[in-house]
């Protein structure tokens, strides 16, 4: 296992024993539309096997050598998500590090399918990480709000709903702390057209119905919008889709690649995009994948924005967070204090511990908690308290920033405009816009 | 045969005997991508059987009663294309006449897939007719240049080519004589976005892969852009796609229907559009269908923009027109003057006579030519001369107007802007724009 060396002890809780026999019940499925680790013979939900997924997708695990190079090239210690294999695999991350080393430009691209009025903590994971990458690399970032996709995939969501969700979610995203000067957030319904639409068509021309079926598991009963969206999501990986950021000297602009931080379920889009990019005279996007924050009910599924009790929402009050963790968070602890002291808790499926691996910055403290909990020194109630405190702090900080995000600020992030960053190869675009 | 009464004698040349046994070789195919009357057992190309097509498509033949009502409602004698069943079938044309009678608004929508630098006479047929309808009804007209579709359907056409063809073809279309105040010509590459893109998504959500396969004969090897274009072509049939023309009071605007004059091969798009329109709270578009001008080589196929000898191009010189007709136009005449005098010519497959039915305005003269030619009084050379003269006049008039169409004029037709017409229900849009 190539990335084992890079994993601090806490990480083992997320790794899956390769010798576990394949489930005879329902196998693992991970697509942008379906995320499940499968079901065992007894009907128990299984956690997603990320190593298996990495192999199947043909991605590369992030190993110690890559983390070391990352630190050397950027001068920053890898983010806790990287240290703990929450950000666990990649495609061509080295190429982006090469670019950064040479002082050559690249950009970040991530996105969100707006399907509810408030995001939950699971949604913020890729954004937290993306913000950190933006700070570390000092590069422009585009964030796509796929309101068109959400509309076309759901019988319940009308265009007006999707647009409302976009606005609410854009404010949530802004509250993560992105630098306005370097960040362009766009709604597909608002932004699609022009150079972006041309790249959608360039990509659509290369993707057959067959390929989409193979990649996403769609069939002839899916609608043409669902199929076509594959081209839409790919188009944002090309710098020429954003002339207001990169200018219009197509050849020069086309040489600017992007790095896509995303949850692993989005990889199929970009695998397809990478397959065709060079034939289109564009750069293949690089990717860096994160795992999912498990639902409160335990490992085995993704949180759902439409099930309140499955997740801590970014709009939850401190009291609600406390109650949700106490009431719904699946515990890996023993049934009684005596048994807990004797046998210790199981951190691998203990949701409070899992959440701490996502949100507690201090590696040593996390390792101490792990040892105490597994060793029976720490009770279920105690680890829940630690988790609650950590999440309350996290959510409160978010809510304070969120309260500052006015409609005007949101509109400015979403206005097609030049961005400003140190390595901007087209400062003239910025200068022009200032006049 | 419901529409027989409406047909002047010349028309019989285009009607097909219903008792003709079905070809055992290759059957008739008419889709937007393939137009063929089929091939008989000896390998001979067969003309398209428009009556059969009307039945199969479920359209309604235009009959004498409808022509009479048209004349009564509009105060205009039906166009020669209507009198001669060149414009031969429709869907819900009566509803448009109802609207006109009540002084309620509707709009015209037609389009062109730009695939070459110059249009041929076959291309101008629906535009000639559309211009006439615009004059008769005094209504706004939108003309869609499907450069995106041409790019996605052809391995040879790049985006830059499609955009160049759009500009050249838009100038050709303008030269047909459309009223600038009432006409908006748009390129998909330029215009798609905003309200139009929303309607594309609304339509795409309702069309499954299965439905497109059934309607267009596509398969899993077609690309997702080809499938998705069905939604694009439909979106322009909805008034809410053009807020710069109709305003943004969605409910009021959505009640404005459109009439689509088009060649019959485009009907499958709009059959699909009509199926879903009312569920989307839009009006079903009405249609009025024309047949194809046959290629110089004779009935049985559509002209091709990429085969110079198949068609008279709108850029051809008088001499080139003469040579093409003399050299390539399939003749229904006899091999010798003696035989022609004895047996007469066959107007049903005689290209010079067929072209005269399209372009010679005078019914009586056309009937005289038919009688003389069939009766052996008129020789092949003479009917060719008449055809040459008529086409030279037609093309010359076109070229004179085309020479006046500057880049600036074209840009103005293609600028999203309010249009002006008598029954405009939103004059405020026009007033606002003037300020």
DSSP, residue by residue, A160-218: HHHHHHHHHHHHHHHHTT--GGGEEEEEHHHH-SHHHHHHHHHHHHH-BHHHHHHHH--
Residue A136: both structure tokens together: 């570390």
Pick the range with the lowest mean pLDDT from A164-168, A191-195, A295-299, B45-49.
B45-49
Burial of B435 (0-12, 13-18, 19+ CB in 10 A): exposed
* B212 to chain A: closest CA residue: A224
Cβ separation A227–B222 shorter than 8 A: no
Chains A, B: CB contacts within 8 A come to 114
Cα A394 to the chain's mean position, in Å? 17
B287, B259 in Cβ contact below 8 A?
Answer: yes
pLDDT at B359 exceeding the cut of 90: yes
> In this complex, is the C-beta atom of B194 within 8 Å of any C-beta atom belonging to chain A?
yes
Cβ separation B198–A189 shorter than 8 A: yes
Which residue of B152, B208, B219 is in closest CB contact with A204? Answer: B152
Cα of B257 to nearest chain A Cα, Å: 22
Cα A393 to the chain's mean position, in Å? 21
Map tokens 């670019």 to a residue.
A99
Identify which has the larger pLDDT, B428 or A4.
Answer: B428
Order of strands, edge to edge, in the sheet holding A87-91? A60-61, A87-91, A286-290, A258-263, A107-112, A141-145, A183-187
Cβ separation A152–B197 shorter than 8 A: no
B314, B398 in Cβ contact below 8 A?
Answer: yes
Which residue of A151, A192, A220 is in closest CB contact with B193? Answer: A192
- B219 CB neighbours in chain A (<8 A) are 209
Cβ separation B225–A212 shorter than 8 A: no
Cβ separation B231–A222 shorter than 8 A: no
A93, A259 in Cβ contact below 8 A?
Answer: yes
Q: Give the model's pLDDT for residue B19.
A: 42
Cα of B428 to nearest chain A Cα, Å: 25
Cα of B34 to nearest chain A Cα, Å: 19
pLDDT at B295 exceeding the cut of 60: yes
Q: How far is the C-alpha of B97 from the C-alpha of B287, rounded, in Å?
A: 12
The tens digit of pLDDT for each residue in B234-258 reads 999 999 999 999 999 988 999 999 9
pLDDT at A116 exceeding the cut of 80: yes
Which residue of B191, B206, B227 is in closest CB contact with A227? Answer: B227
> In this complex, is the C-beta atom of B271 within 8 Å of any C-beta atom belonging to chain A?
no
With a CB cutoff of 8 Å and minimum separation 6, the contacts of B378 are B345, B369, B372
* A159 to chain B: closest CA residue: B198
Order of strands, edge to edge, in the sheet holding B294-295? B29-31, B34-36, B298-302, B294-295
pLDDT at B403 exceeding the cut of 80: yes
Identify which has the larger pLDDT, A395 or A1.
Answer: A395
pLDDT at B39 exceeding the cut of 90: no
- B191 CB neighbours in chain A (<8 A) are 193
Confidence of residue A45 (pLDDT cuts 50, 70, 90): confident
Q: Give the model's pLDDT for residue B285.
A: 98
Q: Give the model's pLDDT for residue B34.
A: 80
pLDDT at B141 exceeding the cut of 70: yes
pLDDT at B345 exceeding the cut of 90: yes
Three-class SS of residue B356?
A: helix
Residue B251: both structure tokens together: 């409910």
Q: How far is the C-alpha of B312 from the C-alpha of B354, rounded, in Å?
A: 14
Confidence of residue A79 (pLDDT cuts 50, 70, 90): very high
pLDDT at A138 exceeding the cut of 80: yes
**What number is the ipTM of this complex?**
0.90
Confidence of residue A422 (pLDDT cuts 50, 70, 90): confident
- B228 CB neighbours in chain A (<8 A) are 204, 224-225, 227-228
pLDDT at A16 exceeding the cut of 50: no
Q: Which of B8, B47, B86 is nearest to B350 (CA)?
A: B47
pLDDT at A391 exceeding the cut of 80: yes
- B231 CB neighbours in chain A (<8 A) are 224-225
pLDDT at A160 exceeding the cut of 70: yes
pLDDT at B10 exceeding the cut of 80: no
Confidence of residue A433 (pLDDT cuts 50, 70, 90): low
Q: Give the model's pLDDT for residue B253.
A: 93
Q: How far is the C-alpha of A6 from the C-alpha of B428, rounded, in Å?
A: 67
Pick the range with the lowest mean pLDDT from A301-305, A376-380, B162-166, B285-289.
A301-305
Cβ separation B152–A194 shorter than 8 A: no
Three-class SS of residue B261?
A: strand
pLDDT at A23 exceeding the cut of 60: no
The tens digit of pLDDT for each residue in A393-403 reads 999 999 999 99
> In this complex, is the C-beta atom of B213 within 8 Å of any C-beta atom belonging to chain A?
yes
* pTM listed for this prediction: 0.91
B31, B268 in Cβ contact below 8 A?
Answer: yes
For testing contact with chain A, the best of B199, B228, B238 (most A CBs within 10 A): B228
For testing contact with chain A, the best of B196, B209, B217, B276 (most A CBs within 10 A): B209
User: Any long-range contacts for A394-402 (C-beta under 8 Å, 24+ apart)?
Assistant: A394/A121, A394/A359, A395/A121, A395/A312, A395/A314, A395/A316, A395/A318, A395/A321, A396/A318, A398/A124, A398/A172, A398/A175, A398/A176, A398/A314, A399/A175, A399/A314, A399/A315, A401/A175, A401/A176, A401/A177, A402/A171, A402/A172, A402/A175, A402/A314
Question: In this structure, what DSSP letter does residue B28 have?
Answer: -
> In this complex, is the C-beta atom of A160 within 8 Å of any C-beta atom belonging to chain B?
no
- B207 CB neighbours in chain A (<8 A) are 223-225
> In this complex, is the C-beta atom of B279 within 8 Å of any C-beta atom belonging to chain A?
no
Look over chain A and give the mean of its residue pLDDT values, rounded to a whole number: 91
- A193 CB neighbours in chain B (<8 A) are 191-194, 197
> In this complex, is the C-beta atom of A225 within 8 Å of any C-beta atom belonging to chain B?
yes
Cβ separation A224–B202 shorter than 8 A: no
B61, B53 in Cβ contact below 8 A?
Answer: no
A201, B225 in Cβ contact below 8 A?
Answer: yes
Q: Give the model's pLDDT for residue B16.
A: 37
Q: How far is the C-alpha of B138 from the C-alpha of B107, rounded, in Å?
A: 9
Residue B157: both structure tokens together: 């056409």
Residue B66: both structure tokens together: 């409808």
Identify which has the larger pLDDT, A152 or B34.
Answer: A152
As a whole number, mean pLDDT of residues B142-170 equals 96
Which residue of A219, A225, A230 is in closest CB contact with B204? Answer: A225
Cβ separation A221–B209 shorter than 8 A: yes
Q: What is the dihedral of CA B174, B178, B184, B190, to 10 degrees?
A: -10
Cα of B363 to nearest chain A Cα, Å: 47
Confidence of residue A40 (pLDDT cuts 50, 70, 90): confident
- A209 CB neighbours in chain B (<8 A) are 209, 218-224, 227
Q: Give the model's pLDDT for residue B428.
A: 55
């Amino acid at each position: 296992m190539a990335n084992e060396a890079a994993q601090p002890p806490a990480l083992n809780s997320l790794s899956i024993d390769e010798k576990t026999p394949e489930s005879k019940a329902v196998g693992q499925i991970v697509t942008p539309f379906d995320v499940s680790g499968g079901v065992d013979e007894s009907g128990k939900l299984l956690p997603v096997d990320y190593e298996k997924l990495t192999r199947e997708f043909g991605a590369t695990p992030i190993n110690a050598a890559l983390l070391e190079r990352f630190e050397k090239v950027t001068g920053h210690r890898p983010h806790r998500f990287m240290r703990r294999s929450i950000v666990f695999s990649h495609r061509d991350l080295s190429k982006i590090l090469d670019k950064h080393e040479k002082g050559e430009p690249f950009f970040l691209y991530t996105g969100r399918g707006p399907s509810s009025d408030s995001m939950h903590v699971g949604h913020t994971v890729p954004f937290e990480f993306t913000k950190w990458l933006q700070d570390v690399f000092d590069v422009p970032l585009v964030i796509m709000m796929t309101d068109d996709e959400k509309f076309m995939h759901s019988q319940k969501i009308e265009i007006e709903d999707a647009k409302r969700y976009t606005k609410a979610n854009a404010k949530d995203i802004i509250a993560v702390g992105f630098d306005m000067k370097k960040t362009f957030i766009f709604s597909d319904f608002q932004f699609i057209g022009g150079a972006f639409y041309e790249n959608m068509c360039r990509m659509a021309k290369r993707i057959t119905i067959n390929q989409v079926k193979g990649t996403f598991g769609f069939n002839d009963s899916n609608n043409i919008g669902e199929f076509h969206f594959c081209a839409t999501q790919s188009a944002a990986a090309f710098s020429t889709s954003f002339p207001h950021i990169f200018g219009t000297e197509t050849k020069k602009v086309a040489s600017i690649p992007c790095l896509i931080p995303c949850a692993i379920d989005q990889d199929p889009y970009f695998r397809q995009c990478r397959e065709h990019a060079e034939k289109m005279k564009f750069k293949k996007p690089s990717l860096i994948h994160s795992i999912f924050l498990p639902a409160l009910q335990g490992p085995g599924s993704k949180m759902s924005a439409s099930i309140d009790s499955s997740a801590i929402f970014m709009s939850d009050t401190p009291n609600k967070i406390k109650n949700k963790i106490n009431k719904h968070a699946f515990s890996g602890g023993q049934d009684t204090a005596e048994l807990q002291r004797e046998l210790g808790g199981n951190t691998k499926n203990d949701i409070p511990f899992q959440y701490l691996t996502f949100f507690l910055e201090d590696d040593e403290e996390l390792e101490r908690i792990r040892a105490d909990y597994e060793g029976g020194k720490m009770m279920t109630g105690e680890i829940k308290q630690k988790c609650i405190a950590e999440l309350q702090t996290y959510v409160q900080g978010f809510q304070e920033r969120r309260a500052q995000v006015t409609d005007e600020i949101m509109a400015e992030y979403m206005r097609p405009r030049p961005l400003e960053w140190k390595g901007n190869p087209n400062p003239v675009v910025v200068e022009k816009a200032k006049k």
